[in-house]
A and B are shown apart, each in its own frame.
Chain A
Amino acid sequence: MSTGINRRQLLLGIVGAGGALVSSAAAEEHPANPVAPPDAVSMLYDNTLCTGCRACMTACSETNGLPPDTVSGVPFESTLAAGVWDVPADLNAETKNIIKLYREPNSSAFAFVKRQCMHCLDPACVAGCPFGALKKNDWGVVTWNSSQCIGCRYCEVACPFDVPKFQWDKWNPKIVKCEFCFDQRLKQSKEPACTAVCPTGAVIFGKRADLMAKAKGRIAAVPGKYFEDRVYGEHEAGGTQVLYLSSVAFEKIGLPKLGSTSLGHYATKVTSVLYKWLSGPILLAAVLGALIKRNWNHHEAERPEREEHTGLRDQL
């Protein structure tokens, strides 16, 4: 048996290398499984460490200058309490970050969850945003630019995590969502307010690769402690920069079950080929145009006779 490369392997190698060259030359804007850039910042939330103190919510509102939401989380029977406490029911136009409590039915078991923008590797909101108001900024942070947003709210329709919120009560409405404290803190080399203030280390800040390793280390240290022994956000919707470890099922704490393909890839895999350099529309125009010109010439050739017969000018 020879240990050298046989002809078949060589051929496969050449085809493979050629294929890689072609695919890297035509870098896909929305690959099925996007790869995080090496400097991608990340957040790891572990709900076995969270005490639900909500210090992160206060820090977030303060840093981002968000007004308190004293209405949406107040139960109907205690409306007298409205207007006093900051009690958002969920993420909304005044709340970029929230800690929610999940209670197991007929049991004393409970778990917290922190919700904010997931900063997807290939975000559906960015893929849909018509004039690039939402974009993947430095360190992979998804930011919103007011001067490029027409307020179409496609981001809200597209986001699988229901994160972007719209100011329905403002004349000059903004899209409100976590931007990783991009302008307020990241640019000054400070970590986001929520991770900086967390007293128990339930949510920590770091590079995505480092936090992924740390999360997998925690799973390996105590197998069975975490749901499905896996990190939520590693593959969901093509991967996210916010990672979760949970003691209960992810769906129970409101993290949806998603495939590993990015939505941007699903939505553009056909059109990105058809619309490449407008080749599809140009080809279509050429074919239709040729047929139309032929029929048009025929129509024009017959026109004088028709006009003479009816005594009326041809109508288009």
Chain B
Amino acid sequence: MKAPNSTGSTLVNYWQRGVPIYREPLITPTLIFFLALAAIGLSLALVRFFSPLGPFSGMNDAYAWGIWKTFNVMTLTALGSGPLAIGIAAWVFNRTKLHVVMRTALLSGFLFYATGLVALGFDVGRPWNFWNILLPWRWNVESAMFEISICMPVYCALFLAFENVPMVLERIYYSSGDSIQADLLRWAPGLRRIYPFMITGAYVLPIMHQSSLGGLLLLAGDKINPLWQTPCLPLLYLLAAGLCGLGFVTFLLLIACLRYSRPLDLGVLDELGNLLSWMCFVFLAVRFADLTWRGQLGSAFAFDKMSVIFLAEAALILIPAIALRNRSVRETPRRLLNMATMACAGGLWFRFVPTTIAFMPAPLARYFPAFPEVLMTLGYIALGIAAFGVGVKYFAVLPGEINDWNRMFTLTRQRRQAVQSKGETSWHVSP
């Protein structure tokens, strides 16, 4: 941790803007490891495209959905809901402190969604029939599956991609010549004009499809254990997305800043921890009100297998909810990291369990993911991690200090020239 700066203020903001990681080589052993894992998964996915599903997965007619859908899509996009949760906090509820961590949320969220959609593309048996999406009279608008198959790709490819465009344009701006810079400056006002409308769409759409992911499970009816099968599933899935979104961005910021030796901004982290705690309480309130209303509290505390699975979920969310009410926990990085990890685990556990463990279609039916299935799931995740690792070095994603931003340009000759032409290196915020 750095000492407060000479202004003497106790509210020092160490995170002032996104700054690329510029002191590290782009290619590292870690990156190669994740790229290799991604290559294995994607090669298998390519082979799977020209092969039946059977040999690639442990799925069967009773458990017709495997981990590609239930984990990569239905569970992991909760972690990718940071742009939704933090975006709403920052832009709707005017928590302006959080603007600086938006890019971390946006890039990670985009990668969770994009890899989830890749997983979905290789999961469906007849992907070439997706062209039916162009024929509105064939749409089954009452189906949650339809809502997801139209809403999720549109959100990822249009709204989430748009939100990630500024950091790409910024990189182009600072690494190109005057004529391109002039073009970019001409486009900037237009981009800013549509920005508030695009982010409105970027919050409405995920609210729709994150709740629809829970809505998917309603049709499964009695196949899902009554501790999880409830008309409130769409709302709970949405709340779990908010919870996981806040938790994961906190987790990611702490991990990435540790990995790349970035100073932390406890003011922003405190805000994230505070919101996360309230989100956990809201989730638990709805969860328990629903169980009480449906008369399932008895089986929730029966301490049989399903009850223990439920109680683990409740504990994983309740502990961080209570602990994070304490300011010293929120402002101690290690404890905040533990609590954020726990809350994410609880949210993911809630999202995953009703799709697989509490989903009991027939007494003798069994499902366990096959080896290629697991490799493909890991491959998609590794692709996301590798892309994030490259992204933080290419683009101004991770929050840092303005000093850091200025120092960055003294290290790279090409960048220095570009910036010198703007005369921006002269603006030093003196420490």
Interfacial residues, chain A to chain B (CB-CB below 8 A): 29-30, 92-93, 124, 126-133, 146-154, 156-158, 160, 162, 164-173, 256, 258, 263-264, 266-272, 275, 281, 284-285, 288-289, 291-293, 295-296, 298-300, 310-313, 315-316
Contact = CB atoms under 8 A, between A and B. Distances in A.
Given A131-B139, A153-B125, A168-B59, A271 B144 contact: yes
29 contacts: A127-B140, A127-B142, A128-B143, A128-B144, A129-B143, A130-B139, A132-B138, A132-B140, A148-B132, A153-B125, A157-B223, A158-B220, A162-B362, A166-B53, A170-B52, A173-B53, A263-B218, A264-B142, A267-B144, A271-B142, A275-B147, A288-B92, A288-B200, A291-B92, A292-B196, A292-B200, A312-B402, A312-B405, A315-B103
A148 B402 contact: no
A105 to B, nearest CB: 15
B182 to A, nearest CB: 14
Contacts of B52: 167-171, 173
B166 A131 contact: no
A284 B204 contact: yes
A288 B203 contact: yes
A168 B129 contact: no
A237 B218 CA distance: 13
Interface in B169-227: 170, 192, 195-197, 199-201, 203-204, 207-208, 212, 215-216, 218-223
B64 A166 contact: yes
A157 B204 contact: no
B130 interface: yes
Most chain B beta-carbon neighbours within 10 Å: one of A149, A165, A312: A312
Contacts of A268: 142
Contact of A29 (B124, B127, B142, B204): B142
Nearest to A158: B219
Given A154-B219, A164-B61, A168-B60, 15 more contacts: A127-B219, A128-B145, A148-B129, A150-B149, A151-B126, A157-B219, A167-B125, A168-B61, A281-B208, A288-B200, A292-B91, A295-B91, A296-B91, A311-B427, A312-B427
Contact of A160 (B149, B223, B402): B223
B396 A315 contact: yes
Given A130-B149, A168-B54, A171-B50, A151 B129 contact: yes
A271 B215 contact: yes
A229 B243 CA distance: 51
A149 B201 contact: no
Contacts of A150: 124-127, 129-130, 132, 149
B281 interface: no
Contacts of B405: 312
Contacts, number: 201
Interface in B71-127: 88, 91-94, 96, 103, 124-127
B4 interface: no
A300 B192 contact: yes
Nearest 6 A/B pairs, CB to CB: A311-B427, A151-B125, A168-B54, A156-B64, A151-B126, A267-B218
B1 interface: no
A154 B216 contact: yes
Contacts of A284: 204, 207
B142 A156 contact: no
Nearest to A297: B196
A269 B234 CA distance: 12
Nearest to B60: A168
Contact of A128 (B62, B91, B219): B219
Contacts of A311: 424, 426-427
A130 B124 contact: no
A129 B199 CA distance: 30
Contact of A293 (B51, B166, B196): B196
Contacts of A128: 140, 143-145, 216, 219
Contacts of B402: 310, 312
Given A152-B124, A285-B200, A264 B129 contact: no
B140 A153 contact: no
Nearest to B423: A311
B219 A295 contact: no
B61 A162 contact: yes
A147 B129 contact: yes
Contacts of B129: 131, 133, 147-151
A175 B126 CA distance: 11
B18 interface: yes
B65 interface: yes
A295 B207 contact: no
A161 to B, nearest CB: 11
B144 A315 contact: no
Contacts of B197: 289
A296 B147 CA distance: 29
A300 B125 CA distance: 48
A268 B361 CA distance: 21
A170 to B, nearest CB: 5
B61 A166 contact: yes
Contacts of B219: 124, 127-128, 154, 157-158, 263-264, 266-267
Contacts of A127: 140, 142-143, 219
A267 B215 CA distance: 7
Contacts of A275: 141, 147
Contacts of A157: 64-65, 216, 219-220, 223, 361
Contacts of A310: 16-17, 402, 427, 429
